[in-house]
Structure 1
Amino acid sequence: MNALSAYSLLAHGLIFGALASLLPLGVLRPKAALTATTIALIAGIAPVMHSLFGTPSVTLLMLAIHHLPARPLTPLGYPGALGLLAFAALFYPAALGWGAFDPYALGYQPWMLLGALIPVGLALWLRRMHVWLMILAVDLAAYASGIFDNLWDVLVDPLLVLLAFCIVLRQLVLRVIAARHR
């Protein structure tokens, strides 16, 4: 097993644990997350997730890790999720060949992409978004480790976009319900 496969299995185990932590279990929530992570690794749920979704991005793994403690820290809210969906609506069609420009190819020689992340990091620092700045730092360290061939694979993946879609959809449903009860 190579390092990328090992990362993928462990990451999917933790992501499954973060999903289990969404259950309303009160004080048992962290223990349920730990149990679900262990079961995902032992019972084969993590390999199934890997076969369905591919290797998760480090960003998604960091969001899952932030959701595991007794008091979860979920930095991906509605505005961020909406921005991620807008990015994905432009990025994925172009990366799949719907146009002359392939943005995914930039991730193999990422000097331009790394240069574009400098103002992003500066903006995160100025806005005191330290959790996102730490996630970006871990993303860049993971890319520097050499496990990933493409910087985009570290930053974003389809499962993260699905998570963003669920966050946006949940917010829209809550707004519709609130509007009906007025």
Structure 2
Amino acid sequence: MATSSYPIFGSQNPRTQVALHAGLKMGQTMGMIVPPIYLLTLAVRKRPFSIRRLMNVTTTWVGIGSIGLGGLVWARMGSQSEEAIFDRCERLKYNQGQLRCDDYSIIGASLGAIVTPAILLRRAPLPTLVFGGASLGLGMGTLTHIIKSFTEGEDVRPEGMVCSLFPRPA
């Protein structure tokens, strides 16, 4: 069976591509929801704001979420046939909404990794700013894609991403 060529993970086998894609989706989700939750938690607890802590919390949760869901999808695919996994990989390859979302998030992560340390250089150690900026950028790129799609009248549904990762049994 030929290996699919999903643009981001094209050199991997289909099972790995789907697991990596799931990890990317969870990273995008965590990058969007963790910063507001962290800020809300600070406001409720009346604690002081810290750039260093925001970057650490965001990086930690994006990493945990990505590795956790990627591993969960990998384990779940163990009982599926190679044809089903290859089919899912091919559907991801040609899903323009997914590809555009991934492009926005990766561009956001790249910009976040560069711009955040440039703006906040003395507020936290450089590695913390680079990884935290990339995590924030991953979420902001995804949020930008969702807002853009919504304002252009496209059908934006959260279950669209989830269904591509966990299809219903036939």
- Mark yes or no: TM-score above 0.5: no
Q: Which has the higher contact order (CA 8 A, sep 6+)?
A: 2
Q: Where is the helix percentage greater, Structure 1 or Structure 2?
A: 2
TM-score range, shorter chain: 0.3 to 0.5
